[in-house]
Amino acid sequence: MTEPALSSIPGVETFAILPDGFGCRLRISIARPVAPPDGRELPAASVVYVTDADFSFGTVVEAARMGHLAGELGPATIVGIGYAEETGDYGFTNRRRGLDFYRGPWRELDLPGIGTQELGGAGSFLTAVLDTVVPEVERRVPETAGARRILFGVSAGGHFAAYALIERPEAFQGFALMSPALIDFPPVPGDEQLVEAIRVLPPGAIRPGTAVFLSAGGREEEPGEAPTEASIISNLYRMRAALHAQGASTQLVVLPGETHFSALGAAVSRALRFLVP
């Protein structure tokens, strides 16, 4: 007798969705909060939308659930946004994420080990998230409709989270920019385009109470580390100042000894503690 396949993470609902005009199916995963030891079922006060779910969904879910069980975090529903075509080798994700996470204009780059990379479709991806993914999540999990929305992004996904904050600051109440590329690729040393985009927002564009978590690994600007050309740590400090001037609440964490690739787990835990108190 063959039983239906189960998710490797208990209590996760997964489905595929094709936003109008988007060009590929998204794999959406929803993890509801677990009940605390005393058995009380608490409605999720927050819903965390995780870009790059093919890399990071499990990390965020497990950190959120453990933190809630320990009494360090409020209950949160975690929504992963990944790609239905991804098979586990990150081949599809690596090609697609540049297109979806970096703001326009559309352009092509040749990257060693990846090949031709398209960039510049962040506007279409943001439309897909807000017009298709969020309504479908709220239909399937009605309590999320009144929950506090938080957007998580790491690296290129951090660029997208900053882009969403600039273009649709009212759409989310919390943002996690983890090791974010706050520049337009291909990078030019010293550039800080997304920081400048925050600086020139009109007064009141970022609503009071908006919270932004900023993080990086402490080794991200050391010689020989990737991607030093993005000036991630330096631009984080500039971004924090720009956000403060706009009235946002921020927390900036530089994680000693961590690289661009190793900082994710610690960054996720710290982001959750700041954004899902």
What residue has token string 């999540």?
Answer: 137
pLDDT digits (tens, 9 = 90+) for 217-237: 999 999 988 788 889 999 999
- Identity of the amino acid at 18: L
* Cis preceding linkage at 36, omega within 30: no
Instruction: Give the C-alpha distances (Å, rounded to integers) separating 43 from 113, 218, 243, 276.
Output: 45, 37, 31, 13
The strand pairing partners of 78, in sequence order, are 31, 48
Instruction: Give me the pLDDT at residue 88, please.
Output: 87
Distance (Å, whole) CA 165 – CA 126: 11
Distance (Å, whole) CA 239 – CA 245: 10
pLDDT digits (tens, 9 = 90+) for 151-183: 999 999 999 999 999 999 999 999 999 999 999
Closest Cα to residue 101, out of 158, 53, 186, 150? 158
- Other beta carbons less than 10 A from residue 168's beta carbon: 14
Could you give the domains of the chain? 12-275 (3.40.50.1820)
Q: What share of the chain is helix, strand, coil (3-state, %, to 5)?
A: 35, 20, 40
pLDDT at 6 over 70: no
pLDDT at 123 over 90: yes
pLDDT digits (tens, 9 = 90+) for 143-152: 999 899 999 9
Q: Is 159 within 8 Å of 194 (Cβ atoms)?
A: yes
Instruction: Give me the pLDDT at residue 5, please.
Output: 53
Closest Cα to residue 82, out of 103, 60, 63, 106? 60
Instruction: Give me the pLDDT at residue 38, please.
Output: 65
Mean pLDDT over 93-118 rounds to 86
Instruction: Give me the pLDDT at residue 91, please.
Output: 85
Instruction: Give me the pLDDT at residue 190, please.
Output: 65
> For the chain, what's the residue count?
277
Q: Is 186 within 8 Å of 84 (Cβ atoms)?
A: no
